[in-house]
Amino acid sequence: MRTILQYSRSGRVEIDFEKKVECPVCMGDFKDCKLERCPYLKDVRDLLLKVSKMKIVHGSSPPSVLVGSWGYPRVNLGPLLPPVIDDTSLMEKHELWLDIPLERILSMRLSLVYGRRPAKVNDARNPDRLLQTIQEIALSQQPVSIEMFLEKEPRINLSFSVRTSPTGPIAPLEKIQLTENPKTLNVVEKVVSDVDLKAGEAIVRLYLSGVPVYSITRLLSLGMIGTKYRRKIVPTEWSITAVDDFLGRKFRRYVKTYDWITEYHLYCFEAHYNRVVILMMPGPWSFEVIEIWRRFGSYKIYVDSELPGEVDKYPENVGGAYHALRLPILEKLYREKKQASILVIAEVSEGWIPLGVWRFREICRRALQYPPRKFNTLQEALDEIRKTTLTDLNYWRHLSRILEFHKFQESITEFM
């Protein structure tokens, strides 16, 4: 993963975010940061240095586990454990993170020690004792107290990824000992034990039973759902997108059968240097995300969309954020039994530290909780968007396929 620096004619620096975005303080150079000067780590600095000298970590996992993608189909996986005995559930509840300071989120995540071990993805079908214990942690719906024995002292190697939340010190995992029994929901136990239930059906059943998306992601990631001979370990970042995408497609199937909305609805919410603007337009289901990253006075724009009649494809430009934004919108349309064409403007401002795609899902969901501003024409809605967004509409409007489609659709309607 790398970051390319480009210089515009005006002399401003533009950053091309390929797969990873670095901390704007030290640009990802941990040696340059040196902990003692990092303003984001001030609340967790002493804990990090203390943990770096431990080979046995005792604490309450949120619960949280992580499966890496490097080396697939042989991957690293293990629990994330803060060295504290307390109610650590907040460390994994993304829906509550919008209401706490960004620095606290970062401190929480970087206090998690990642004890990892290698595994083959097919090991999920016949797990050894250590993998079984990690799976038991993933089953729990509440923090579970464990002792994690490491082969050597943890290495502090902080990194910031676009898709997943960061973790703290890393060390090879020797063994795990549960010091209390995990508390598991009955519906989770039934779905995990049903080896004839397909993974997609399991995801839907868990979701409709009120199991949080991040809990479903854990189960999918550790190969605990699906039919017996198709279960496999899936990297966490892939699981996040897979759950968002599958649930979104499930709701979309119903939304496409509903009546169109009759006005233009505009929603907006901003948190943690991220702003999401949602425009719902009368018309058949279509969806577009225009993601704008603002850095050093310049910006980069990424666009992905799906129009009526098009075959599904992975959103190569926006990535997992596309599905994270789409799911809450489809949830709302499904509840209201309505259909609409959707344009989403997602702006990332200076000051944001990459902590994963959860923030787009939760900001979008929060925006949709408020009554929309309503307009009779597209131009009225766009005029309001011009006032609402940081980036001038003229910089991105020509990139929007959905606005061109909507304009063409209006022309056909008037002709009829």
Quick: pLDDT tens for 314-369: 999 999 999 999 999 999 999 999 999 999 999 998 878 778 889 999 999 999 99
Both 287 and 411 in one domain: the answer is: yes
316 with 238, same domain?
Answer: no
pLDDT value at residue 164: 61
Helix, coil or strand: residue 115 = strand
Would 25 be classed as within a structural domain?
no
Same domain, 130 and 278: no
**Any domain includes 28:** no
Please check whether residues 191 and 333 belong to one and the same domain.
no
- Examine residue 244 and state whether it is found in any structural domain, yes or no: yes
Distance CA 312, CA 333 (A): 20
Return the pLDDT at 102: 82
Return the axis-axis angle of helices 129-139 and 186-193, rounded to nearest 10°. Answer: 140
199 shares its domain with 264: no
- Side chain identity at residue 3, one-letter code: T
Is the same domain home to 124 and 156? Answer: yes
* Terminal CA-CA length for the chain: 52
With beta carbons less than 8 A apart as the criterion, state whether 282 and 374 touch: no
DSSP state of 348: E
Checking if the pLDDT of 268 tops 70, the result is yes
**Among the listed ranges 90-104, 122-136, 261-275, 334-348, which one has the minimum average pLDDT value?**
90-104
DSSP 172: E
264 and 171 part of one domain: no
Q: Does pLDDT of 185 surpass 90?
A: yes
Count how many domains the chain has.
3
Find out whether 231 and 218 touch, Cβ atoms under 8 Å.
no
Among residues 196, 221, 250, which one ends one of the domains? 250
Q: Is 311 found in the same domain as 194?
A: no
Q: Quick check: is 5 in a domain?
A: no
What tokens does 49 get?
A: 């240095």
Check residue 215 and give its pLDDT.
94
* Average pLDDT score over residue span 283-294: 95
350 and 298 in a single domain? The answer is yes
- 338 in a domain, yes or no? yes
Looking at 204, 224, 250, the residue that finishes a domain is: 250
What global pTM score does this model have?
0.87
Which among 217, 213, 216 is positioned nearest to 238, based on CA atoms?
Answer: 217
More confident residue, 301 or 105: 301
| Cis peptide preceding 63, ω within 30 of 0 | yes
Q: How does residue 4 score in pLDDT terms, banded at 50, 70 and 90?
A: very low
Based on the fold, state whether residues 174 and 269 are members of the same structural domain: no
Better-predicted residue by pLDDT, 14 or 116: 116
> Is 137 in a helix, a strand, or coil?
helix
Distance CA 89, CA 86 (A): 9
- For residues 212 and 251, give the distance between their C-alpha atoms in angstroms, rounded to a whole number: 17
Residue 51 within any structural domain of the chain? yes
Domain span at 226:
186-250
5 pLDDT more than 50: no
- Which of the pair, 26 or 182, is modelled with greater confidence? 182
Residue 24 identity: P
Of residues 266, 408, 263, 271, the one with CA closest to residue 329: 266
- Is residue 128 in some structural domain? yes
**Which of the listed residues 211, 230, 250 is the one where a domain comes to its end?**
250
Domain membership flag for residue 24:
no
Please state, for a pLDDT cut of 90, what percent of the chain lies above it. Answer: 70
Domain co-membership, 90 together with 169: yes
Same domain, 232 and 272: no
Express each pLDDT in 40-97 by its tens digit.
666 666 777 777 778 999 999 999 999 999 999 999 999 999 888 888 999 999 989 9
Among left, alpha and beta (phi > 0; psi -120 to 50; other), residue 296 is left
